[in-house]
Structure 1
Amino acid sequence: MTVARVFTREQFYELVWSKPMTHLAKDFAISDVALHKICRKHGIPNPPLGWWAKKAAGKKVKQTPLPEAKPGAPDRITIADGEFGRESANLAAARERARIQASEGDDNEAAPPHPFVDRTIAKLRKEKPSDIGLMAVSEGGLIKCEVAPRSVDRLAVILPRIVRAASLQGFQLVGGEGSAHFKSETEVIGFSISELVSREKHVLTDAERTKEEAWQRKRDLAARRNGWDSVFFDRPRFPEWD
């Protein structure tokens, strides 16, 4: 269960003008009505009726600029996300209602605390990042998460809102031997948070390049003197990925 995606107003504005609202709504697995409502809440203009048809026909179209945010308005937009394909109609409808409610919340609005959320966040804060920069928890009684350190504070805000939205639809967050999951009288839904990582090959900084070149000169000198014993052990190490 993929849970939420977070955007700035500028990022969401670009998305709204990148494809028809009906298509974008399907990407988020919510209705286009809900998507329009989120746009209105955050003051984001969207293409008027017929705009995409005119553009497809090669006609000149005008894109409405993004206005300044209203004073006090949240600077982040949270879209609770997921897929309906393998769910019953009732569960899909309940999930969409919960998803819309989670997405409509104000980022500055505090949701009631939950012990599973509190324990999960506390555990994440103690974890060390893996070689790809993510911290993971999956023990019993915790929400299964794999996120970057910079996302933990954001997660501490999002998770209580998701739990609250789910509870309004009759789903409670429960634990056991496995990780926490949502459960109603008739349905059980697995629940996890996974953050995607985009990595780029590390490019040596000027200081790192200076160290590497110094080692190469030392290596070349050792080769001329047949003194290879310790040269390779002295080679400076740099990260492979950023």
Structure 2
Amino acid sequence: MDWSSLTPDLIQATLDTLLMVITSTIFTVILGIPLGVLLATTDKGGLLRAPGLNQVLGIIVNIGRSLPFIILMVAISPFTRLIAGTTIGAPAAIVPLVVAAVPFFGRVAETSLREVDNGVIEAARAIGCNNWQIISKVLIPEALPALVRGITITFINLLGYSAIAGAIGAGGLGDLAIRYGYMRFETGVMIVTVILLIILVQGIQLLGNFLASLLEKK
């Protein structure tokens, strides 16, 4: 195995994986936090109290979470082509990654928001805060450490999804592992890609724990 010629492929695969995961995480957080807020506040006893909307959102989220990622990728390929212009490569994989991760992170955000002490919410209501002010200045800031931990978990899950996406043409470390480690029986390449994924997971977990700890001290 010629590692000198394979090194550029490893670097490019790592960059493709980071592109897929970081970009999809950003979009997942942007879409998932409002979803989590709606799920937490429209339930019975919530700030917005819309049980019908809550049930509809819950059904949609549960359907999204129940689909295996590889099936989801194939099922929404027309939508992916509409958004990205193609179904091949790292940019195209971002679309199904976001679609798969938003329902998961929405539930994580909902749980984080529900854990906020109700006494803090009542205190904000007592001083005249409206619902939007309570959500933006009390609920989300109070839940921020838990949300950061949820983002960390989501990022790590997306790393796993990106490896699956690589198996069907998205590029990245998953694609490299399949092409060299599986199809060409290059066990060394498979081991290196696994080590790189482990390093990425450990790094983001440490960073997430550090940021959550900082936020808890404030």
Range of TM-score over shorter length: under 0.3
Q: TM-score, normalised by structure 1?
A: 0.25
Larger Cα Rg: Structure 1 or Structure 2? 1
Q: TM-score, normalised by structure 2?
A: 0.27
Query: Which one has the bigger helix percentage?
Result: 2
Higher relative contact order (Cα pairs below 8 Å, separated by 6+ residues): 2
